[in-house]
Amino acid sequence: MATPEPATVAAELRTAMGKLTRRVKHEDHIPHGQVAVLGVLDRDGAMTTSDLAADQRVRPQSMARAVGLLLEQGLVVRRAHPTDGRKSLVELSGAGRDALEGERGRRAGWLAQAIEAELTAEERETLARGAALMERLAGR
């Protein structure tokens, strides 16, 4: 069997990852944009609304609305910026951390069930090796 061209592998991998990502997101109970904001705050810590908007590549006004909804739900809290009195920081609340963990658990649970139901033991081994390779590519 001939070694596939990197461009072909890249296109197939991108398509498959996109489909899988969209399918896994169907397990979410919180809208994707809000989950994304909670995830950033969990990984990177407290941020200004402007920094969140830049990170998510959305307009500051759109992020302000998203943050407002998260505040109403008690999933984030605001606190004063330590060095700039004109700004405030948004951070994950305890309820936000719990909600995010719930979303992650639902996603991982669905994926684990799909792997068990759809893949043979040999395919699961191949997938595990592939996951390590994707992690390596992501770190490049």
pLDDT tens track for 44-80: 999 999 999 999 999 999 999 999 999 999 999 999 9
Which token pair is 86? 């004109």
Number of residues that make up the chain? 140
CB 53 within 8 A of CB 62: yes
Task: Compute the distance between CA of residue 34 and CA of residue 67 in angstroms, rounded to an integer.
Answer: 8
Mean pLDDT throughout 18-35?
90
Parse the chain into domains and list their residue ranges. Answer: 26-138
Q: Which residues contact 82 (CB under 8 A, 6 or more apart)?
A: none
pLDDT tens track for 88-123: 999 999 999 999 999 999 999 999 999 999 999 999
Burial 45-70 (b: 16+ CB within 10 A, else e): ebbbbebbbeeeebeeeebeebbeeb
DSSP state of 47: B
Which token pair is 95? 């309820």
Predicted local distance difference test score (pLDDT) of residue 1: 76
Percent of the chain with pLDDT over 70: 100
CA 89 to the chain's CA centroid: 21
Which CATH code is given to the segment(s) 26-138?
Answer: 1.10.10.10
- Provide the pLDDT confidence category of residue 27 given band limits of 50, 70 and 90: confident
Predicted local distance difference test score (pLDDT) of residue 32: 87
The pTM of this model reads: 0.80
